[in-house]
Amino acid sequence: MNEKKKQIWKLFLKKEKSINQIQDLILNYENEFPEDVDLYLMKMWFFSEENKVQQAIEIGEEALRKDPYLLEIHIKLAEAYECQSKYMNAYKHYCISKLLASYAGDKKVHNDCEQASKRAMERMEQLIAYLPEEQKTFLIQDMIPAFLGYEKNQFGYKEKRFRSFDSMGGEYYYENEEAKKYVGMYHEPIYITTEKDAVHWRVEFQQVVETTYLKLPDTVEKWIVPIAAEKENTTQWIETENGNVPVIQHNDKSFYYYCVGGGREIVSSGLCYVGRPIPVQNEGNKKKLVLNVFVDGLAQVLLTKDRFSQLMPNTAKYFDKGMVCKQTYSSGEWTYPSIAGFMSGLTTSHHMMFHNEIDWKLPETSKTLLEYFHEEGYYTSVFSGDWRIIPSYGYARGCDRFIYQLQHAGFSVEKMVGSVINEIEALKEVNQFVWMSLGDLHDIADEMELPTSVQTHLKIEDRAYRAGSKTSVKQKHDAAKQHQYEQMLQYMDRYLGMLFSYLEHTYKENEIVVALFSDHGQGYLIPENGQFLGPERTNVAFMFRDGQYKGETGEVMSSLDYTAVMCKLAGITYQEKQGAEGRTPRTFGGDGRRWALTESLHPNDFYRAALVSEQYRFYFCNQMPVRYDGRFELGDFTICLTDKRGKEVHVEEVEQECLNIIMNQIAHLLIY
């Protein structure tokens, strides 16, 4: 902490203090250190001293939009809400503070916040007793259930249900206090399991209406209606041109899909959860299908022209009629921060989804990939087996249907491809946007059991035990793992070939957009003494097919550009330079970018960054550990500038340009 900051805090702690003097010092400090997030805390203290509680709250909420892990801000917010008798909000921030204090290693604050949260809850219960009956009913029936539902994942900061045996099916899932979706079982085989978690079976998230009656609009000829019944053997009386037809839903809490005529009625014998009816129509000005194929951990460095056709012949053949972007770099070094960048166009230090144990979500102010397509009238679906791609991260925004099962438990490539083909075929007459996640390459770094056809093509030497890192990100060069990886690519490609064959037989070239892309490469591909953020880890697969753009390009792109490219190919206007850092590449008719940035922001590790241009690679490493909240001191950092072949060079103006970019990027993370 610098001396000027210390002086301000000393004045705050005095019994007799000059508010005007403190205000002047804060203003002077802000002029000198405008990016210091501690300014938010100073201002909150100042407004609290002035009894301007609402202004203190507004400052605190603004601070959390910049860094959601600021412990002191959460505590001050809790205190401010408590002053306003808004005990639910106070309780929420005390609970979050308790969680953050455990990562900060502050037992006293943890215990204090635990007691304060209990106090806030007790006061809320006392307050409810004195409310008018109408307000009391609203609280008990609506607000409190939503609040408690959101508390299950500690208000977005700790979501475990997507990788545990906690029950989810047949319940509401709260993305926040206001947004909820019903969780149905996806084609549940009740004769096998009665479990309702996302490990044993797939779950399906949809926004629903609870009802026993539905009348469809007559604006279109046909509708597809998803319905989940509360109880087994519920009868649906569906109106047809031949009268009412009884249909029995044998399974409870599982969505059934009905094709029903416009203007018709559905009457249920019991309570049902009805998803958004889907109009069966293709709008000619839209693509019939926009398919996003995400392959976790697919390194571009192995997909050179000859190797691509050897390792993934079906994929190479399919995208031979598309555009293959060979110089695209991920914004993050592992899945969680990198996918957040794909979805939002924000860098890691701006979306702040970086911590390996504390969760968060995309900023509400950032328009996501799915929201762009949903707002244009596409029916949007996500198929995910990756517990780093889940609804609570903001990925359910703009999503009509989110289907999930933990990949290792049953949503590997062979099941995923079959499910996606089924989805596309089911809604073939609808303009649809589909995201599918393939995580099978992670099985190698995670040392999981590999498919039989992979095992039988490996030498025994390639399966010898080697003690490795606890995390896949930090694994060292390993030729054996590379051989496993190459065999797994061929395995996955066989199933992708089925998908691509289906697409070619079902759609005309200009009717669809298909993208295949990845979030990061692999640490075990980096040679000894190679850069941590070298191309083996950061240069990712990035290819598209839309019937128009064809060939290969060496233009430098960022994974942040993904949403911009997809919007361009679908004829959707992308809000470039309006908060997001995604850019439309020159290859696709935009202005492109000079540098592609990759960041490694991870608790207890050094902050690292890499910048890549058409001519250079620049590497930065700050040798001070990152705290739990993403902040760090600027220490003795190292830099390295190389040409594209990896040979170290010294070009002062380029080095300074890169340093300026990185210093601007991390200004709000520095401890001043």
Burial 175-205 (b: 16+ CB within 10 A, else e): bebeebbbbbbbebeeeeeeebbbbbbbbbb
Of the residues 131, 151, 171, which one is the last residue of a structural domain?
151
* H and E: helices and strands count for the chain: 22, 24
Residues 6+ apart with CB under 8 A from 115: none
Q: Does a structural domain hold residue 159?
A: no
Show contacts of 469-474: CB within 8 Å, 24+ apart: 469/523, 471/356, 472/334, 472/442, 472/445, 472/446, 472/522, 472/523, 473/333, 473/334, 473/523, 473/602, 474/523
Mind listing the pLDDT tens digit for each residue in 565-607?
Answer: 999 999 999 998 888 999 999 999 999 999 999 999 999 999 9
Place of tokens 């690519």: 489
Same domain, 244 and 354: no
pLDDT at residue 16, as a whole number: 80
User: How far apart are the C-alpha atoms of 444 and 153, rounded to whole Å?
Assistant: 30
User: How far apart are the C-alpha atoms of 203 and 183, rounded to whole Å?
Assistant: 6
pLDDT at residue 255, as a whole number: 96
Mind listing the pLDDT tens digit for each residue in 273-319?
Answer: 999 999 999 998 999 999 999 999 999 999 998 899 999 999 999 99
Of 497, 464, 493, nearest in space to 481 by CA: 464
Q: Look at residue 35 and give its three-state secondary structure.
A: coil
Number of domains in the chain: 4
Same domain, 257 and 299: no
Same domain, 21 and 59: yes
Q: Return the H-helix or E-strand segment holding 9.
A: helix 3-13
Same domain, 264 and 231: yes
Q: Does a structural domain hold residue 281?
A: no
Q: 242: domain CATH number? A: 2.60.120
Of the residues 275, 297, 313, which one is the last residue of a structural domain?
275
Q: Does a structural domain hold residue 170?
A: no
Q: Return the H-helix or E-strand segment holding 275.
A: strand 265-275
pLDDT confidence bin for 191, thresholds 50/70/90:
low
Of the residues 593, 625, 650, which one is the last residue of a structural domain?
593
Q: Does a structural domain hold residue 160?
A: no
Q: 12: domain CATH number? A: 1.25.40.10
pTM: 0.95
Percent of the chain whose pLDDT exceeds 90: 86
Helices (H), 84-153: 87-104, 107-129, 133-138, 144-151
Q: Does a structural domain hold residue 166?
A: no
Q: 554: domain CATH number? A: 3.40.720.10
* Mean pLDDT (whole number) for 233-244: 97
Q: Is the pLDDT of residue 9 over 70?
A: yes
Same domain, 374 and 267: no
Same domain, 351 and 268: no
Burial 464-474 (b: 16+ CB within 10 A, else e): eeeebeeebbe
Same domain, 443 and 361: yes
* Mean pLDDT (whole number) for 200-214: 96
Beta strands 551-553; 557-558: pairing state? unpaired
Q: What is the DSSP letter of 499?
A: H
* Mean pLDDT (whole number) for 613-621: 98
Same domain, 412 and 433: yes
Q: Does a structural domain hold residue 193?
A: no
Same domain, 515 and 655: no
Q: Does a structural domain hold residue 200?
A: no
Q: Does a structural domain hold residue 158?
A: no
Place of tokens 């004769």: 191
Around Cβ 608, how many Cβ atoms within 10 Å?
Answer: 22
The residue range of the domain holding 50 is 3-151
Same domain, 69 and 139: yes
Helices (H), 274-433: 305-311, 313-319, 335-344, 348-351, 369-375, 407-410, 413-426
Same domain, 560 and 651: no
Q: Is the pLDDT of residue 469 over 60?
A: no
Same domain, 491 and 627: no
